Structure 1
Amino acid sequence: MAAKADLSDSRKDSNQCSTDVQSSVKKKTKCSNGLKMFMIALSFSWICKALAAVVMKASITQIERRFGMTSSEAGLIDGSFEIGNLLVITLVSHFGAKSHIPRIIGTGCLIMGIGSILTASPHFFMEHYKYDSTLNGKPLENSTAIYTPCSTDLNSTSNNKSSVLLESGCKNESALPMWIYVLMGNMLRGIGESPITPLGITYIDNFANEGHSAFYIGILHSLAVIGLATGFLLASLCIKLYVDIGYVDLSTITIKPIDSRWVGAWWLGFLIVGILSIAAGIPFFFIPKSLEKPTNKRKISASLDISSTKENRSRRTNCKNPVQTKESKNLTGFFLSLKCILSNWMYLIYLISSLFTFSSFIGYITYLSKYLEQHFDQSMSKLNLLLGIIAMPTVSISVFLGGFISRKLKLKTLGIAKLFFISHICAITLKAMLPSFNCERRLVAGLTVTYDGSDQETHPQNIPSSFCNSDCNCDPILWDPVCGDNGLTYMSPCLAGCKSSVGHGKDLVFHNCSCIEANHFQSRKASAHLGQCSRTDDCSRKFIYFMTMQTLSSFFFGLGGSPKIMLAFKNVEPELKSLALGLHFLVLRAIGGILAPIYFGAAIDSSCLKWATNNCGDKGACRMYDSISYRNIFFSLCLGLHVPVIILNIILFMIMKKKYGENNGSSNSGEIDVDESNLKEPLNNNIQFEASAHEDSETHI
């Protein structure tokens, strides 16, 4: 009776929804409407941030070509988002929860939108994109005009334009490269996105009905996946459009989306995302700081209030005197907690293993599209379309199945570990099979084969001249490939020795090519058309096999996604779960998210055969890679990083099996139920878990 009286008094004195029958209905309705408005606004912001993340990943190669950068420099731009996010995420998470959460999220959306628009802004201040072309920006106006690529006039500069560019173009270069604004915009986007996930989930859990938080967060995760898939479709559309669409006559463009010089409308995706992000931030300024929370108290059964499980006892013995009280927020308490976590060998092994895995994934997903473009002759637009309609739904289903299996089978700690390890081994095994689906090296005269078409064990490096084009006064730097009737690709029609041409734009055809005739090709009028020679049908089939195997590998990675996150806090003290998760993602994003694109890009750059040259004569974007070297370097890095992961996972599982098996008897295998452990945790632990689960679901593409 006394307990009921105390509960009644607390309900009367609180500012939450009244228990009075008549007023309760009105207040609960008002509370529900406010939360619904917040959920709608937050859902829109989650879609926008997922959209922006995909657009950046999908556009990084276009940015690389537009600004004449190496892959490692483009990797720095890609990692700048993580730099901006990590600069403020801790401060925002700590101080933001005590402030006006909706306004902070709204401000973050505005900053995120401004960052996206800043990323796109260089397009409007730069000159029109100029790619290497034998026509030198002066396309033929009609099909009867004749253009002579092979000029024997030594005084002519129509083909040898390198000196002209060096003298005139370099003087006009700005002291500050324009790609700096792209980097700053991406970093600003990272700063703006930082409060959306942690503070958004905090607000939901503060004011949602008892037991409804997980449902709302599940809705957010589902909408985020929709945002990811939509992002790939948007990127596919933008890349298919020419970068200067609306400013130039597209009929004069001689390159196609499959060409390595093609630059799509990368800026359009960032502009759209920026406008949507700003619009997503406006509703948050009309949402109150707090809502009248329903009176339902969080109820935990008495059986769960007692630290009864033997596994909890065994975990507490790992670290003496853990920081348990909320008052211990000073630096001393923080460092004691940090020392406690880092002295936990199981957590430390898991952290290092996750770092290797995450680094491999980031490098792989960043440069996978470029690999498929170079190796299988697939356009970036098509590749992003396939990722949007095939890969993302597959990953979404697998992540759901991973959580469903864990719950359905009521897996405990060792069961979760087994599910994660088995799915991870399957995924790595399938990925290890991907290099076997390969196409032959391109036959490019002067790069991979000689001008007579003979294959060599070691390809000649940049030897464009031959007896058949020695009198043509060709520019050796120019990259405007043509495919000869003999099946060989030449770096330019001039280097193919072509004497005449017919047509204009993409339909331009070159005739009387001396190098093709010299190759004993039976034709009086040996000709060549723009673009590299197409791959064989066998290569197209291998691309289908590659994508099928890649999809299966992604499925198994996603299947272990939820168990992987749960292992991040299963082996630490309950009071330190939030810190364990925070440290886990801090290390992954700081080291893997920032550094992996840079060193992956630097390694891939070493396989480049033909570099573009900017106006100052410096190395620009790579026009052609040695596909075999690219494949070997790319998969050696990806799979090599997984070797220590397998070893560490085996060690971790052996330690866990020994620890929990000995401490908890044979009946339950010493394992704690998944749901049981979560019910006892503070609110912040739940927030960190949900946020991290979302991050992990985005990575297994």
Structure 2
Amino acid sequence: MGEEAQLSDKDTKATMGIEDTRGGKVSPDSQNLRPSVFHSIKFFLLCHSLLQLVQLMISGYLKSSISTVEKRFGLSSQTSGLLVAFNEVGNTALIVFVSYFGSRVHRPRLIGCGAILVALGALLMSLPHFISEPYRYDRTSPVDTPQDFKASLCLPMTSALASTLSNSSCSSYTEAQHLALVGIMFTAQTLLGVGGVPIQPFGISYIDDFAHDSNSPLYLGILFAVTMMGPGLAYGLGGFILRLYVDIDRMPEGGISLTSKDPRWVGAWWLGFLISAGAMALAATPYFFFPRKMPKEKNELHFRRRVLAIISKKEDSLSEQSPRETPEKKDGLARVAPDLTVIQFIKVFPRVLLRTLRHPIFLLVVLSQVCMSSMAAGMATFLPKFLERQFSITASYANMLIGCFSAPSAIAGIILGGVLVKRLHLCPMRCSALCLLGMLFCLLLSLPLFFMGCPTHQIAGIIHQPGTRRGLELFPGCMEPCSCPSDDFNPVCDPSTHVEYLTPCHAGCTNRVVQEALDKSQVFYTNCSCVAGGGPVQAGSCDSACSHLVLPFMFLVCLGVVMACVTHTPSFMLILRYLEVGVQAARQPIREEASDARVMAWMPSPVIHGSAIDTTCVHWAQTCGRRAVCRYYDHDLLRNRFVGLQFFFKTGSLACFALVLAILRQQDKEEGTKVTCSGLQQQLLASGPEKKPEESTV
């Protein structure tokens, strides 16, 4: 407001493209002056909505393809969770500087530069595909023959051939190369976090500064609504892209014999990053043409000038009447200043921070948001992998389910919470009650998830169902003449006993038969010494008997998401209504503290969920002597620990809201007592000045 007061009338009218006459009319010459489209806050809103949409699509795309990246580069879930969390490292390191000291820069250009960094980070994420060797899903097959042809069979030469190829594989793909590829992805994730730092804070502040006060909430609502579609588009893009083979740009001679249902299938994960990088570069282009300061929306500058004049007159009259109160009133005027100097901020921030931390309601609400963000981070990162492993569905289908149901459920929950707060005119106590009910229903809906899942397949030599004989003990010594390679993986299934073998060699099979059909061909292995009757066994993992439960499971998950997101708006209303911070610029520390709490949840939560998933693995792949990706999980343990972590965070959020409601009820009782005492005093001191009951700190 101080800067605008110094603007001359001529400059103000020039920026508005309007020149007033004495009669209050617009001159004819000014009607021909049409401002550029880049001087429209509505066009900026459109550009920024698209930009944040693409930004969230990039960050969400890695989560949609996390299981595919694990297969391709031999990563554990803990490592992939750490990779996802690295997106927040650069964001956490720079968000404070951008939020507090970045208002003096050219915000649109800085947003554009950040978007370019995000595009470069997305390109860097796809780089490991182009500098690594082609994906070979069967390491025992010779290079000059089509893969999976007579591979993994029980032949006398299998042992020598597997040993030779294993050594050559380790020599061509060393540990140093693996670390370099993983390091590139970690660097790309950090760059994505750094580039995303100025996008949201500067965009929101730019819209809030130059939009009409009555339009600013509407614009921000549109921005958030459009942005929320980003994760849904990311999972939808992942569902489409992962149907394509990873080496679609360099297919081996003779083609491949895999289908997307094969556990060795790896989709074209890198293609989504290229598409997202191109979209981000296009969305960043308009920001280099927006002005540093654009004209306020219609009639707003005139209104603010009138407000400044009234405040100035009031300040002058108060200074004449009571000179001693002038500094205090001047400080009150400073409290509505849009930003502070560095020295003023350093002086103000410690007091604001200490006062904020002493507020129990603020701490409890933020802690509940940390729990909900931790729950959301774990679900967004590993829910596709959980569905893929638990219900034996493809990665593409899992992403399509999440993109079509989970993301719209989150949007619906947030809108429902906002509508309830507005229509019912909820007071703070009722807002906390609404948050408590939402988390309670969310917690109850997660209880059936512990019992909705598929049992673990019976894997010969690894996992056997209780009460059944081990698959390899049916024929003792059947594998001894085969000398099967330990690092080979080409699963086959015995349909009669529903027993799965790691390779046809582990089943003792010596022949391979391909049955051609109209739509597809099926591969069978015969003469299997470890299978009753000699086979045949079918290529691929055994089909799950309960894959139909995936839709009811997702239905309950989506209902829980709706109930959890209902608490979004009322929880923020609790923060805004219960924090009366004196300095206007100190509202930014409050927003950033809540943002930092979210960041602190999104950084450790994927690592915690990934570590919990790794503890349920029963068979690890080995690459050059190191543990790589997990091939088989204990489904019951996986379900109990993944859903259990979600249940834990939901319980923490529920407990926080229960404490908030208890504190509010206690404060309401105390305020009622104060009002009653004040009324008695008014009756006893009827001759004294009339006193109003003390208002609540709310």
Matched-pair contact (CA < 8 Å) for 2:617–2:634: yes
Instruction: Tell me what 2:423 maps to.
Output: 408
User: 2:491 touches 2:539 (CA, 8 Å); kept in 1?
Assistant: yes
Q: What letter is aligned with 1:560?
A: T
Q: Which amino acid aligns with 2:662?
A: M
Aligned to 1:659: 667
Q: Which residue of 1 is the match for residue 549 of structure 2?
A: 542
Judge conservation of contact 2:138–2:147 (CA < 8 Å) in 1.
Answer: no
Change (3 A) 1:390 1:166: closer
The residue correspondences of 1:105-120 to structure 2 (distance < 5 A) are 105-120=111-126
Contact 2:147 2:256 in 1 (8 A): no
CA 1:238–1:146: 2 relative to 1, 3 Å: closer
**Aligned pairs (5 A) from 1:604-623:** 604-614=613-623, 616-623=624-631
**Is 1:388 aligned with 2:424?**
no
| 1:636 to partner: Cα distance | 2.1
5 Å matches for 1:367-382? 367-382=382-397
Question: Which residue does the alignment assign to 1:497?
Answer: 508
1:237 aligns with 2:240: yes
Aligned to 2:691: none
Aligned with 1:180 (options 183, 193, 202): 183
SS of the equivalent of 1:374 reads: helix
Q: How does 1:616-655 map to 2 (within 5 A)?
A: 616-655=624-663
What are the Cα deviations for residues 388-414 of structure 1, in whole angstroms up to 9, with x where unaligned?
222222222221111111101111111
Q: Cα distance 1:618–1:464, how it changes in 2: closer, same or farther (>3 A)?
A: farther
2:231 pairs with 1:224? no
List runs of 5+ in structure 1 lacking aligned partners.
1-6, 306-320, 518-522, 668-680, 682-701
Q: Which residue of 1 aligns with 2:154?
A: 150
Shift of the 209–394 alpha-carbon distance from structure 1 to 2, 3 Å rule, reads same
Alignment of 1:224-373 (within 5 A): 224-249=227-252, 252-293=255-296, 294-296=298-300, 297=303, 329-373=344-388
Secondary structure of 2:628's match? strand
Question: For residue 514 of structure 2, what is the amino acid of its counterpart?
Answer: G
How many residues are paired up?
Answer: 624
Question: Secondary structure of the residue that 1:515 maps to in structure 2?
Answer: coil
**Deviation per CA, 1:652-688, whole angstroms, max 9, x where unpaired?**
2100121134326899xxxxxxxxxxxxx9xxxxxxx
Q: Name the CA shift for 1:279/1:324 in 2 (closer, same or farther; >3 Å).
A: same
Relative to structure 1, is the Cα distance of residues 124 and 32 closer, same or farther in structure 2, using a 3 angstrom cutoff? closer
Tell me, yes or no, if the aligned pair for 2:94 and 2:194 is still in contact at 8 Å: yes
The residue that corresponds to 2:679 in the other structure is none
| TM-fit CA distance, 1:423 | 0.9
1:469 aligns with 2:489: no
TM-aligned CA deviation for residue 273 of structure 1: 0.8
**Shift in CA distance, 137/463, structure 1 to aligned 2, threshold 3 Å:** farther
- Note if contact 1:147-1:501 (Cα within 8 Å) is conserved in structure 2: no
Report SS of the residue matched to 1:508.
Answer: strand
Alpha-carbon shift at residue 212 of structure 1 (Å): 1.3
The equivalent of 2:218 in structure 1 is 215
Q: Distance in 2 between matches of 1:176 and 1:146?
A: 32
Tell me the amino acid that sits aligned with residue 45 of structure 1. L
1:60-99 → structure 2 map (5 Å cutoff): 60-99=66-105
Amino acid corresponding to residue 208 of structure 1 in structure 2: A
Give, in whole Å, the separation in 2 of the partners of 1:210 and 1:354.
Answer: 28
Q: Following TM superposition, by how much is the alpha carbon of 1:646 offset from its aligned partner in structure 2, in angstroms? A: 2.6
In structure 2, how many angstroms separate the alpha carbons of the residues matched to 1:383 and 1:435? 19
- Partners in 2 of 1:45 and 1:388 — Cα distance? 19
Which residue does the alignment assign to 2:590?
580
The question of whether the paired residues in 1 share the 8 Å contact of 2:432 and 2:660 is answered with no
Work out whether 1:440 is the aligned partner of 2:440.
no
- Deviations, residues 423-473 of structure 1 (Å, cap 9, x unaligned): 1111121122211112122111111128xx9538xx99x999952212211
Distance 1:415 1:666 in 2: 21
What amino acid does structure 1 have at the position aligned with 2:596?
A: L
* Counterpart amino acid of residue 626 in structure 1: D
Residue 161 of structure 2: SS of its match in structure 1?
coil
Q: Percentage identity across aligned positions?
A: 27
**Deviation string for 1:579-622 (max 9, x for gaps)?**
22211221221x211111112211211111121222x2211111
TM-superposed CA distance for 1:481, in Å, is 0.7
- Partner residue in 1 for 2:468: 455
Task: Encode CA deviations 1:351-406: one digit per residue, 9 max, x unaligned.
Answer: 22322232232123211111111110111111111222222222222211111111
Give deviations 1:50-70, integer Å, cap 9, x for gaps. Answer: 211221211222222211111
Code of the residue aligned with 1:475 in structure 2: it is P
Tell me, yes or no, if structure 1 residue 423 matches structure 2 residue 429.
no
Over 3 Å counting, the alpha-carbon distance change for 1:533 and 1:478 in structure 2 is same
Residues 246-255 or 187-196, more deviating: 246-255
SS in 2 for 1:507: strand
**Match of residue 571, structure 1, among 570, 578, 592:** 578
Q: Does 1:557 align with 2:564?
A: yes
How far apart in 2 are the matches of 1:466 and 1:44? 63
Structure 1: how far apart are the matches of 2:357 and 2:175?
Answer: 54
Q: Which amino acid aligns with 2:108?
A: P
Q: Which moved more, 1:626-635 or 1:111-120?
A: 626-635
Q: Deviations over 1:173-222 (max 9, x none)?
A: 43842021111112111111111111112112222233111222222223
Aligned-partner SS, 1:468: coil
Q: 1:146 to 1:387 in 2, by over 3 A?
A: closer
> Do 1:445 and 1:491's aligned partners in 2 also have CA atoms closer than 8 Å?
yes
Letter in 2 for 1:658: Q
**Which ranges in structure 2 are unaligned for 5 or more consecutive residues?**
315-331, 676-697
CA separation of 1:176 and 1:449: change in aligned 2, threshold 3 A: closer
SS of 1:438's equivalent in the other structure is coil
CA contact (8 A) 2:442 2:650 kept: no
For 1:691, the equivalent position in structure 2 comes to none
Which amino acid letter does the alignment assign opposite residue 602 of structure 1? Answer: S
Contact between 1:238 and 1:266, CA under 8 Å: does it hold in 2?
yes
Q: Distance in 2 between matches of 1:204 and 1:356?
A: 30
Residue 633 of structure 1 deviates from its aligned partner by 1.7
Post-superposition Cα deviations, 1:24-53, rounded to whole Å, max 9, x if no partner, equal 756685588532332332222122112112
C-alpha separation between the residues in 1 aligned to 2:152 and 2:263?
24
Contact 2:154 2:505 survives alignment (8 Å): yes
**Displacement of 1:13:** 7.4
Does structure 2 conserve the Cα–Cα contact (< 8 Å) formed by 1:103 and 1:284?
Answer: yes
Cα deviation, residue 573, structure 1: 2.0
Superposed CA RMSD: 3.3
- Is the Cα contact below 8 Å between 1:88 and 1:191 reproduced in 2? yes
Question: Does residue 196 of the first structure (1) align with residue 199 of the second (2)?
Answer: yes
Residue 83 of structure 1 and its aligned partner are, at CA, apart by: 0.7
Q: Look up the equivalent residue of 1:531 and give its one-letter code.
A: G
For residues 635 and 162 of structure 1, the distance between their equivalents in structure 2, rounded to whole angstroms, comes to: 41
Alpha carbons 2:87, 2:189 under 8 Å: kept: yes
Residue of structure 1 equivalent to 2:208: 205
**In the TM superposition, what is the alpha-carbon distance from 1:277 to its structure 2 partner?**
0.9
